[in-house]
A and B are shown apart, each in its own frame.
Chain A
């Protein structure tokens, strides 16, 4: 079975500093995608960043970047220059293509608190 594991239930960071959230996954897919989603206290989940497994270059989106280690099946999220608005639950996910459509497998999430 495909699994996604986030080993840090909670993290905290001071404003303007850098924090890294961990994620490991297990998949039997040859071509797959990995995602980080953010769920702020308002609850609407939004995509932060996406990585295609066949691309060796790590994805970046402004202050967000990933460290994708395919052999180790590791996909960590680095947030640079943390801002108060980064306070949220962060979910790591991988896709599974089955039955002609894609579905996402989510980890349990990491609650990040950014302190002033």
Chain B
């Protein structure tokens, strides 16, 4: 266990559904991330929250909507997805400090999303 949990672990949804992915970190970190992992492709960074403020929105379609209500929780709200959005969605957290190098990112187990 890395101290980062994600729910649900598996999700099947239709293209007209609305669902949310949840991530929680128990490490006291100040930065959280959403990644998309598709087969045979590098991990794609989707969103970054630093001190609960979104600092990166990596050209992600608006059908993905992140929310970070506090430093321990991160959500990814999904609506009107497409079949090509089927992937493993990983959440990560890290402790970012001023002037130093990047700290290790701790990953959750992921949510396997299938869009039908």
A-side residues, CB < 8 A to B, are 4, 9, 31, 33, 35, 37, 42-47, 50, 52, 91, 95, 97, 99-109
Contact = CB atoms under 8 A, between A and B. Distances in A.
B60 interface: no
A46 B105 CA distance: 8
Contacts of A109: 42
A42 B101 contact: no
Interface in B80-116: 88, 90, 92, 94, 96, 101-105, 107-110
Contact of B102 (A37, A42, A102, A108): A102
Given A9-B40, A101-B96, A45 B90 contact: yes
Contacts of B92: 45
B23 to A, nearest CB: 13
Interface of B: 1-2, 31, 33, 40-43, 45, 48, 50, 55-56, 88, 90, 92, 94, 96, 101-105, 107-110
Contact of B56 (A43, A97, A99): A99
Contacts of A97: 102
B50 A100 contact: yes
B56 A108 contact: no
A33 B101 contact: yes
Contacts of B2: 44, 46
With most chain B CB atoms within 10 A of its CB, the pick from A102, A107, A108 is A102
A102 B96 contact: yes
Nearest to A46: B2
A100 B49 CA distance: 12
Nearest to A94: B102
Contacts of A9: 40
Contact of A42 (B48, B90, B103, B109): B109
Contacts of A105: 42
With most chain B CB atoms within 10 A of its CB, the pick from A35, A50, A104 is A104
A104 B110 contact: no
A104 B102 contact: yes
A46 B101 contact: no
Given A44-B1, A44-B109, A95-B102, 10 more contacts: A4-B42, A35-B104, A43-B109, A44-B107, A44-B110, A52-B101, A101-B31, A102-B103, A103-B56, A104-B43
